[in-house]
Amino acid sequence: MSEHLPALLVVVPLILAPVAALSNRPRAAFAAAFAGCWWALYASLALLTRVRSEGVISYALGGWAPPYGIELRLDLVNAFVAVTVATIGAVVIPYAWTSVKKEITEDRIPLFYTAFLLMLSGLLGITVTGDVFNVFVFLEISSLSAYSMIALGQDRRALTATFQYLIMGSVGATFIVIGIGFMYVMTGTLNMADLAERLPAVMDNRTIPVAFTFLTVGITLKLALFPLHLWLPNAYTYAPSAVTAFMASTATKVSVYLLLRFFFTIFGFAFAFGQMRLNMVLMPLSLVAILAMSLVAIYEINVKRLLAFSSVAQIGYMVLGISFGSVLGVTAGLLHIFNHALMKGALFMAMGCVMYRVGSVQLSKMAGLGKKMPWTMAAFVGGGLSLIGVPLTVGFISKWYLVQAALEQGNWLVAGLVMIGSLMALVYIWKVVEVAYFQEADSDVEIREAPLSLLIPTWVLVIASFWFGIDASTTAQVATDAAELLLRGGS
């Protein structure tokens, strides 16, 4: 049984999706989604443990040896990302039960959980596969299900947001498949390890740099790197609360992983950073993302939207780490995938609690919430501290590595700009804190604390974001080993 875990990690949630659809009852569909998410958490943790002790796991689907068949290939990098995705799934799903009952009409709930399972298995499928075309297939599953879930948001503008995301996302996916096709033309293979072996011989050809360009643009569209982030703010703002929490912590992270996988494992460090001078593009863009998007976040008056812009800035941190092209930098990027998933998940879930009771996340509606919903707002402050990068939080760990990576290359300017980004995060988090704690509420509206079924998952993430901030030895160790693996070009 345990040797089949790489496949079962993906296909158990996948088969539960049609089961949830067939059950056609909210409770049964929820049970299926719950089982799928927790199964994924168990399987991904078991796989990470195994990868840490035994090294790379390769699973030949259908018994066909790669590159003739499709291979699932787990190393420290994607096992780590799979654990991140599964953790968020497992925490969001109990939260979704209560939150979704309010925000989505009952007749859509079974299909909502079906879409949720499809998205989860799509993201996990992208993460664990060792085949580039397979990446595209699962990317389609996760994207299509994400589009449909965003459209269920209770604001009408969720529909336009989805449409925008649908168009941009499809362009991104098309670019990725063009890149894959060009690589196939020049190598005759789709297997990642095989591609890494065969690409160097044809690198001088025009086709491979073009493939690289298409893949880079396609993936950065999916991960919402400035200036290709335009779909993200609206999608995150208008999606149902549980969907925003899940998507913000997983979808873009998996795209960051794809970027790492394509740059380091498939094309190789020398090609991506030497020949194509990728860092010359990524570093300025990520710095602009950090500063400009944090600035926009400061002026936002819808807190979900504020957090969405903050997400674009935080993605900037991840890409910035990668653009250093050093072990420390990539470690920072990988750590921030996990750390940002924890804190942003917590923050968006806290906003889901506010939505549940107040029906809005406009800043103006949040006056006095610090007293009326103390636990919710405390969770928001906890996640906010992490976002700022206060010591003893996960945010600090990421920034610590990032600044170290910058200083290692003597790049004081970048280190300084990272600090400025943190200060800007302080400003926009403080803006919310000020309204919630220091402004008087409208006394005539009665608002109670959010139910425990929402608070417990939220607090699990808040506590985790402190836990892994105080004792970062495990995550930092895994991330460092994974970064070394990537830079060695191995897989």
Interacting residues with another protein between 228 and 267 (CB under 8 A)? 237
Q: Return the residues of window 157-186 that contact another protein according to CB under 8 A.
A: 157, 159, 178, 182, 184-186
Which of 51, 118, 381, 406 forms a contact with another protein (CB under 8 A)? 118
189 is an interface residue for another protein by CB under 8 A: yes
Q: Which is nearer to another protein, 362 or 439 (CB)?
A: 362
CB of 478 to another protein, least distance (A): 26
Query: How far is residue 397's CA from residue 399's CA, in Å, rounded to a whole number?
Result: 6
Q: Return the residues of window 196-215 that contact another protein according to CB under 8 A.
A: 198, 202, 205-207, 209-211, 213-214
Residue 440: left if φ>0, alpha if ψ -120 to 50, beta else—which one?
beta
Residue 206 backbone phi and psi in degrees, to 5:
-65, -30
Which of 35, 45, 56, 137 forms a contact with another protein (CB under 8 A)? 137
Q: Return the residues of window 295-354 that contact another protein according to CB under 8 A.
A: 302
Q: Return the residues of window 370-399 that contact another protein according to CB under 8 A.
A: none
Which of 362, 404, 409, 411 forms a contact with another protein (CB under 8 A)? 362
The one segment of 151-159, 312-320, 399-407, 466-474 that binds another protein by CB under 8 A: 151-159
277 is an interface residue for another protein by CB under 8 A: no
Query: How far is residue 160's CA from residue 262's CA, in Å, rounded to a whole number?
Result: 32
Q: Return the residues of window 51-80 that contact another protein according to CB under 8 A.
A: 59-64, 67-70
Residue 322 near residue 334, CB atoms below 8 Å: no
Q: Which is nearer to another protein, 54 or 107 (CB)?
A: 107
Which of 87, 114, 279, 480 forms a contact with another protein (CB under 8 A)? 114
CB of 62 to another protein, least distance (A): 4
Q: Which is nearer to another protein, 218 or 316 (CB)?
A: 218
439 is an interface residue for another protein by CB under 8 A: no
Tokens of 248: 């913000």
Q: How far is CA 391 from the centre of its chain?
A: 23
Query: Which amino acid, 135?
Result: V
CB of 249 to another protein, least distance (A): 21
Q: Which is nearer to another protein, 104 or 415 (CB)?
A: 104
Which of 27, 49, 188, 277 forms a contact with another protein (CB under 8 A)? 188
Q: Return the residues of window 287-306 that contact another protein according to CB under 8 A.
A: 302
Query: How far is residue 132's CA from residue 143's CA, in Å, rounded to a whole number?
Result: 16
The one segment of 18-26, 288-296, 423-431, 453-461 that binds another protein by CB under 8 A: 18-26
Q: Would you tell me how many other CB atoms lie within 10 Å of the CB of residue 128?
A: 26
Q: Which is nearer to another protein, 49 or 105 (CB)?
A: 105
Query: Which amino acid, 347?
Result: L
367 is an interface residue for another protein by CB under 8 A: no
Residue 116 near residue 125, CB atoms below 8 Å: no
15: exposed, middle or buried (Cβ count in 10 Å: 0-12, 13-18, 19+): middle
21 is an interface residue for another protein by CB under 8 A: yes
CB of 489 to another protein, least distance (A): 21
409 is an interface residue for another protein by CB under 8 A: no
Radius of gyration of the CA atoms of the chain, in A? 21
355 is an interface residue for another protein by CB under 8 A: yes
Which of 34, 147, 348, 380 forms a contact with another protein (CB under 8 A)? 147
Query: Which amino acid, 137?
Result: V
CA angle 315, 321, 324 (to 5 degrees): 140
Query: How far is residue 417's CA from residue 41's CA, in Å, rounded to a whole number?
Result: 36
Residues 6+ apart with CB under 8 A from 278: 216, 263, 272, 323
What is the 3-state secondary structure of 170-198? HHHHHHHHHHHHHHHHHHCCCEHHHHHHH
191: exposed, middle or buried (Cβ count in 10 Å: 0-12, 13-18, 19+): buried
